[in-house]
Structure 1
Amino acid sequence: MRSIELILDPDSDAAVRAAWDALTAADLPSLGRSGSNDPHVTLVAGDDVPVPDGFARPVPTSLRLGGVLLFPAGPGRSVLVRAVVVDPELAAFHQAVHRAAPGSVDTSHPEAWSPHVSFARRVRDADLPTALAALRTAPLPEVLQVGGVRHWDGATKTVTPLA
């Protein structure tokens, strides 16, 4: 799988990692358990997403967080995330990325995209109250600052900075 992602500035990155650490400290699943994860917001993803030459829009400088969301992750399990609010600037940039890097999965298309910051995959539904309590110990700022854009190639584990 390949993706184009917004990455966070150092302070926002540290805030998300603190949330990951809070989940780890509560002995729950956390993206912080893997040394290869970086906090990010996926713009497009798919098996054939190319490295684009550029984008027709400027990169957003900040991301406003919304509420906690759960995505299905199999029977009795969920992916735990915080929503990212799609404002006009983010929507326009996402559409520019979608045009510059075709080949994404349907859920990356502008009409289906649900931007988010992920905390944990496969959290048992029974552990969700504990996970939420852990996240409250490491509250995130209302707005995260963007540090850049990258292309990720999961097959080769290659990161290509884009902006």
Structure 2
Amino acid sequence: MRSIELVLDPDAERAVRAAWEALVAADLPSMGRHTSETNAPHVTLTAGETLVVPSGFDAPLPPSIRPAGLLLFPAGPGRHVLGVSVVVDRPLAAFHEAVHRAAPGGVDTSLPGRWAPHLTLARRPRDVDLPRMLEVLSSVALPETLGVAGVRHWDGETTTVTPVS
């Protein structure tokens, strides 16, 4: 799978990583346990098997995003993905559409009108862990806005990241 992702500025990345680390410190599932060099807080704009690295976009990169509430996606029996939803304001919606014009072929759930932007906190935690995870995360507040640093193309087959300007 390939994806095109918004990446955060250093302050915003530190804030999300603090939430990851709070979960790790409580011995709970967390993206903070993934030690790959390419593991960084991000918002996936599109994902698909054949996405190319775009040469650019016909809409401006939003300078920031606004985190909202926690959300869950099903991830198999007794499991979910836990994330922080992101508000889709006009600048983010326009940029998201521009990404799809520059790199068509995204899966249905990443298309405009179907997309649920989020910052992943943990993949596949057990449902029984969710109450404790919520308790831990209630003590780690994210800022009202998170700065955006740029865009990257992730290729899961080669595990490479390519910055996109």
Q: Please classify the TM superposition score into its range, dividing by the shorter chain length.
A: over 0.9
Q: Which residue of 1 aligns with 2:149?
A: 147
Q: 4+ residue stretches of structure 1 with deviation over 6 A?
A: none
Runs (5+) with no aligned partner, structure 1: none
TM-score by length of 1: 0.97
Q: What's the % identity of the aligned pairs? A: 66
- SS in structure 1 at match of 2:143: coil
TM-score by length of 2: 0.96
Q: Which residue of 1 aligns with 2:67?
A: 65
Task: Quote the Cα distance in structure 1 between the aligned partners of 2:27 and 2:100.
Answer: 37
**AA at the equivalent of 2:53:** V
Runs (5+) with no aligned partner, structure 2: none
The one-character-per-residue Cα deviations of 1:44-100 (angstroms, maximum 9, x if unpaired) are: 000101001110001000001111100001111111101100001100000000010
Q: Which residue of 2 aligns with 1:31?
A: 31
Q: Which residue of 2 aligns with 1:84?
A: 86
Count of residue pairs brought into register by the alignment: 163
What value does the CA root-mean-square deviation take over the aligned residues? 0.8
Task: Quote the Cα distance in structure 2 between the aligned partners of 1:61 and 1:134.
Answer: 29
Task: Quote the Cα distance in structure 1 between the aligned partners of 2:72 and 2:131.
Answer: 12
Q: Which residue of 2 aligns with 1:115?
A: 117
Q: Which residue of 1 aligns with 2:13?
A: 13
- SS in structure 2 at match of 1:53: coil
Choose which of 32, 46, 49 in structure 2 pairs with 1:47: 49
Deviation, 1:120, is 0.1
Task: Quote the Cα distance in structure 1 between the aligned partners of 2:122 and 2:105.
Answer: 26
- SS in structure 2 at match of 1:96: helix
- SS in structure 1 at match of 2:59: coil
